[in-house]
């Protein structure tokens, strides 16, 4: 099988709040994910991920 996935960073922006682990600033990162089967694109997904700029941990929002 020739399954592949690529992630490309679309942009970064400052998010409100602080990291609960180290107190650093939080950035919102927009990522485009592309999944391919035998070099044919199957789906495109745009996600927003939150990361700490100081400790580089990925943060999850609980609402």
Question: Residue 1: pLDDT above 70?
Answer: no
Question: Which residue did the predictor score with more confidence, 12 or 39?
Answer: 12
- Give the number of domains in the chain: 1
For residue range 15-25, what is the model confidence (pLDDT) as tens digits? 999 999 999 99
Alpha helices in the chain (DSSP H): none
Prediction pTM value = 0.76
Question: Residue 62: pLDDT above 90?
Answer: no
Print the domain residue range for 7: 3-59
* Whole-number Å distance between alpha carbons of 5 and 1: 13
At 27, the pLDDT band (50, 70, 90 cuts) reads very high
**Is the distance from CB of 59 to CB of 21 less than 8 angstroms?**
no
């Amino acid at each position: 099988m020739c399954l592949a996935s690529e992630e490309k960073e679309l942009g970064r922006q400052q998010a409100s709040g602080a990291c609960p682990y180290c107190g650093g600033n939080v950035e919102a990162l927009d990522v485009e994910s592309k999944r391919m089967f035998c070099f044919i694109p199957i789906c495109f997904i745009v996600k927003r991920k939150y990361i700490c700029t100081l400790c580089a941990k990925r943060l999850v929002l609980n609402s």
